[in-house]
Amino acid sequence: MTTVNMDTLNRFLFDNHPIRGEITRLEQTYQAVLDNHTYPVAVQNLLGELLVVTSLLTATLKFEGDIAVQLQGDGALSLAVVNGNDQQQLRGVARVNGEIADDATLKDMVGNGYIVITITPKNGERYQGIVGLEKDTLIGCIENYFMQSEQLPTRLFVKTGVHNNKPMAAGILLQILPANDDTAESFEHLSALTETITADELLQLSTDEILYRLYNQEQVRLFETHDITFKCGCSRQRCEDSLMTLPANEIDEILSEDGGNIDIHCDYCGKHYLFDSIDIAEIRNRHKVNYH
């Protein structure tokens, strides 16, 4: 049995078609997002799809920066968000209030809602795109987003599942290269090929095997492998900064109520940051020194 490297992203090109591709496969990153949470099965699957979509979206960006793909609505799943960056570091979280069936659809979960995609380049202006839930699946909605924002026909093929008790999620993106004519036939042809991939194949074969399985009649150029990792950007410093935006009396109130501690919990990674009254006095002191 060959070992399959998961948590990787590859870009590829077809020599004979004006189409580019990306393939993303996740295991540990996905597991890390599910750790410390007890999400309903349908939400677990949706988070897997969101992670794959965010990785693929990030790989289409041509600059350094961050991206957030956020679903929100008035349903039992009020929020699901995945953050990624050009280093292929991902994190994600969902908020569930109420029952969600195993076979719940996107609309069953989110209700009346929409998807917000926020792209924040390190240098340059922040861009925000909003797409309605006009399609039945997250993937359909994201394909709409590509059409609206970049006017580039894009197809996404995403699968999630569990193998050897491990959650896995993987996906392929096909996109027409800008400024090309006569692309429709190539795009349809390659989309039809890609559509034949099964969940078992996409989740369990190696990237090379998948590309061979789908495109052995084509000339495919596969580029270098990028590792994908789970990384949460939370830190004690960030907690301090947000604490200092609160009114002082509010902080004092929490300190006196909660047994002398402020416990800030990160929803993404499960870390706790504890601040007692001595910490707070010290932080206030430091902020005075900084700003006066």
Which residues of this protein are in contact with Zn ion, per CB under 5 A? 232, 234, 266, 268-269, 271
- Give the amino acid at 198: T
Taking the complex as a whole, the smallest distance from the CB of residue 117 to Zn ion amounts, in Å, to 22
Dig out the tokens for 235 from the structure.
């830190």
Q: With beta carbons less than 8 A apart as the criterion, state whether 280 and 262 touch.
A: yes
Cβ-based nearer residue to Zn ion, 34 or 269: 269
Strand partners, 132: 114
Cβ-based nearer residue to Zn ion, 33 or 232: 232
Taking the complex as a whole, the smallest distance from the CB of residue 41 to Zn ion amounts, in Å, to 24
How many Å apart are CA 244 and CA 239, to the nearest integer?
A: 9
Cβ-based nearer residue to Zn ion, 166 or 238: 238
Taking the complex as a whole, the smallest distance from the CB of residue 268 to Zn ion amounts, in Å, to 4
Three-class DSSP category at 103: coil
Cβ-based nearer residue to Zn ion, 141 or 266: 266
Taking the complex as a whole, the smallest distance from the CB of residue 70 to Zn ion amounts, in Å, to 17
Q: How far is CA 279 from CA 113, 244, 265, 289, in A?
A: 41, 12, 17, 15
- Which of 110, 132, 147, 138 is closest to 53 using CA atoms? 138
Cβ-based nearer residue to Zn ion, 126 or 272: 272
3-state SS of 188-210?
A: HHHHHHHCCCCHHHHHHCCHHHH
Taking the complex as a whole, the smallest distance from the CB of residue 113 to Zn ion amounts, in Å, to 25
